[in-house]
Amino acid sequence: MPSGARRKAKHKASKAPPPRVAPVQAPTTTGFDVPERDQEIDRMTRTYISMAKTGGQGKTLVAQMLVLQHEQKGVPVRLAAADSDSLNQRSKMGRLFPAVKELGIGEDLTRIKSSTDPNLAIKYWDEFGRTLLDGGHIIDVGANVAAELFAWAEARNAGALLRRRNSAPLDLVVTTKAESQGIEDARALIQYSFDKQEWLPFSRRFVVLNEVAGSFGSFEADQSFRRLKAFQSMGVGIINVKRCESDIWQLMEREFISVRDGIKMTEVDLEKRFGIDVWTGHGGLTDLKNWAAETLAAFEKAGLFPMVQRQEAAEPAAAC
């Protein structure tokens, strides 16, 4: 075969060039500069349930500090409350923050008595269950409904569905003041949460020792306090929160101003709103900001902070 014909045949036999592939579009990002598929994980951080078995222990204050912490870290979070007062039919959390999902305090007793549905009281709390499935919530739970939520979880076998749906991890934060009943109730609540772990599966547990009524030093020999602290051997974090001595604290509580919003105010704002001296306002703001920073540092030291889910999810990959 002539050399020219051989060159033509070789040319025809060669493979056609590969088709041109369009470049893959980079994932869109959000304000946090994280790809959308990863952002879903970040948005569905942990769900925090702030709870107490006794009223007036400071559980809503702890919930407030979690809100502030999430905002400072740039982590989105939604708010819910299973609590209310008889005068306002609204939770304290709902008076401190906008857009709080009000879960109420349970089905009306009259309706339960008149209903032919034996599961009416249980069905009421299904909205709480949907909130857990959504993930990424801070839920403030009143002392009068804590037992009902555990009863709902057991009746609905909630743990099985939460695990199957791979819902966001649940953290329980129990708060107590330095008083005998509060300490014993906190101990009992933590123990109860372990007993009901199958139905309400908490990933982590924390106890906040609220020193608003004084230090816990006088309870070091108290049996309930020692048993409460003994939960540390089971992975329960213990957090001490000092009393806030700010001059504007009572004004904020009276006007339902959250810590998050309070630290954003200026002495001029305080002077206009409350008529207080500018130096009193300045000193009060300084003390409030220092206390908030110290409190969140204590949370952080104990491991109570958002975005932990991403760290946990990355651990198995790192071990491979």
- pLDDT tens for 280-293 read 999 999 999 999 99
What's the whole-number mean pLDDT along residues 166-174? 97
Is the pLDDT assigned to residue 178 strictly greater than 80?
yes
What's the whole-number mean pLDDT along residues 122-139? 94
**Beta strand residue intervals within the chain, DSSP E:** 47-51, 78-82, 100-102, 137-141, 170-177, 202-210, 237-241
Q: Is pLDDT larger for residue 45 or for residue 109?
A: 45
Contacts of 37 (CB under 8 A, 6+ apart): 27
How many CA atoms does the CB half-sphere of 197 hold within 13 Å? 8
Averaged pLDDT score across all residues of the chain: 84
According to the model, what pLDDT value does residue 116 have? 65
Residue-wise pLDDT for 115-129, tens only, equals 666 677 788 999 999
pTM of the model: 0.81
Of these ranges, 11-15, 145-149, 233-237, 305-309, the one predicted with the greatest mean pLDDT is 233-237
In eight-state DSSP terms, residue 33 is: -
What's the whole-number mean pLDDT along residues 72-77? 94
Instruction: Determine the Cα–Cα distance for residues 209 and 202; give it in Å rounded to an integer.
Output: 20
According to the model, what pLDDT value does residue 110 have? 57
According to the model, what pLDDT value does residue 223 have? 97
Residue 308: which pLDDT band, with cuts at 50, 70 and 90?
A: very low
Residue-wise pLDDT for 3-47, tens only, equals 555 554 444 444 455 444 444 343 333 332 333 333 443 445 799
Instruction: Determine the Cα–Cα distance for residues 189 and 292; give it in Å rounded to an integer.
Output: 26
According to the model, what pLDDT value does residue 194 have? 98
What's the whole-number mean pLDDT along residues 194-220? 97
Residue-wise pLDDT for 242-286, tens only, equals 999 999 999 999 999 999 999 999 999 999 999 999 999 999 999
According to the model, what pLDDT value does residue 306 have? 87
